[in-house]
């Protein structure tokens, strides 16, 4: 099942509110980048951004619980 990219954008923005400052900045940037990729209908760019989001989640010291709940394990 593929998660709605808009839901992922919303989750990143919400999680950024309680994240560590550096991680919050990256989460907001990735959310904005993903919104732009969706708006311009650029699947390849969206896939690259999803990869960056997964990297953020794997190294984040903050919870990012909403975002993690949307992505399948090991994605």
Total of domains in the chain: 1
The pLDDT > 70 percentage for the chain reads: 88
Q: What is the pLDDT of residue 35?
A: 93
Structural domain contains residue 50:
yes
Contact 27, 56 (CB under 8 A): yes
Task: For residue 66, give Cα distances in angstroms to 10, 14, 39, 43.
Answer: 9, 8, 23, 23
Confidence (pTM): 0.80
Q: What is the pLDDT of residue 75?
A: 57
Mean pLDDT over 18-26 rounds to: 90
Its domain, for residue 49, covers 5-70
Q: What is the pLDDT of residue 73?
A: 63
pLDDT digits (tens, 9 = 90+) for 42-67: 999 999 999 999 888 888 866 788 88
Q: What is the pLDDT of residue 1?
A: 36
Cα separation of 18 and 37, whole Å?
Answer: 25
Structural domain contains residue 75:
no
């Amino acid at each position: 099942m593929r998660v709605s990219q808009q839901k992922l954008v919303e989750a990143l923005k919400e999680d950024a509110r309680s994240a560590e400052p550096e991680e919050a900045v990256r989460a907001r940037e990735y959310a904005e980048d993903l919104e732009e990729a969706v708006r311009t209908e650029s699947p390849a760019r969206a896939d690259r951004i999803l990869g960056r989001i997964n990297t953020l989640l794997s190294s984040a010291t903050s919870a990012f619980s909403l975002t993690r709940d949307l992505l399948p394990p090991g994605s």
